[in-house]
Amino acid sequence: MKSFKISLLVLLIVFVGIQFIPTKRNQSENVPKTDFIIVNNAPKNIKNTFQTSCYDCHSNNTSYPWYNKVQPVAWLLENHIEEGKAELNFSEWDNYSDRRKKSKLKSIISQIEDNEMPLSSYTIIHKNANLSNQQKSEIIDWISKLDMK
């Protein structure tokens, strides 16, 4: 019984301790000129959908949930965002080559059509990030019409 108490205490100390380890926050004040929405002059509905459903993990500006204040949740999110941005970062869209842009647009469409994005592990908490059928077809139509040289 005594050892049980001690191990609980150790766990508690570790848990409190990790709260003090800082994490990188993925936030920036201004929207860069290379941003996908700006470069492609997206209409308002498209802009809102992208910002609500994609930008938390695929841009340099995340709108963090409250539980990001607690470790180890913050680490999980940090990893997640890092991976998401490596795959596709809308904030740096215009730095991509035309070849890469085309390929990304294609992937965006197929990921949305196949309901692979936004991730279900994300939408389970962010209910408003779920894409309705109408939003899906709006996005797909709009992307299909983007003129990629």
Partner 1 sequence: MKKVIGILVVALISVTISCKENKEQENMDGTKHNEEMQMESHEGHDHSNGEETSQREITQNNTKNGETAAILDAYFEIKNGLVADSKEKTASGGNNLLVAISKFDMSKLSEEAHKEYMEIEESAKEHAEHIVKSDIDHQREHFEGLSTDITDLVALLGTDKVVYQDFCPMANNNKGALWLSEVKEIKNPYYGSKMLKCGSIKKQIN
Cis peptide before 22 (omega within 30 of 0): no
List helix spans (H) across 1-149: 2-18, 36-39, 44-53, 55-58, 73-87, 98-113, 120-123, 133-145
Contacts of partner 1 in 65-94 (CB under 8 A): 70, 72-73
d(CA 40, CA 21): 39
Q: Which is nearer to partner 1, 28 or 124 (CB)?
A: 124
- Residue 45 or residue 116: which is nearer to partner 1 going by CB? 116
DSSP designation for 41: T
Which residues from 17-56 bind partner 1, rule CB under 8 A? none
Dump the DSSP string for 13-26.
HHHHHHTTS-----
Site for partner 1 in 93-112 (CB under 8 A): 97-100, 102-103, 106-107, 109-110
With binding defined as CB under 8 A, does residue 11 bind partner 1?
A: yes
Does 113 interact with partner 1 (rule: CB under 8 A)? Answer: yes
Smallest distance, partner 1 to C-beta of residue 127, A: 14
105 and 148 Cβ atoms separated by less than 8 Å: yes
Q: How far apart are CA 83 and CA 2, in angstroms?
A: 43
**Binding characters for partner 1, 120-149, by CB under 8 A (x = yes):** xx--x---------------x---------
**8 Å CB contact between 49 and 135:** yes
Q: Does the protein bind partner 1 through residue 6 (CB under 8 A)?
A: no
Using CB under 8 A, pick the residue from 119, 126, 136, 138 that binds partner 1. Answer: 119
Q: Which residues bind partner 1 (CB under 8 A)?
A: 8-9, 11-12, 15, 70, 72-73, 97-100, 102-103, 106-107, 109-110, 113-116, 119-121, 124, 140
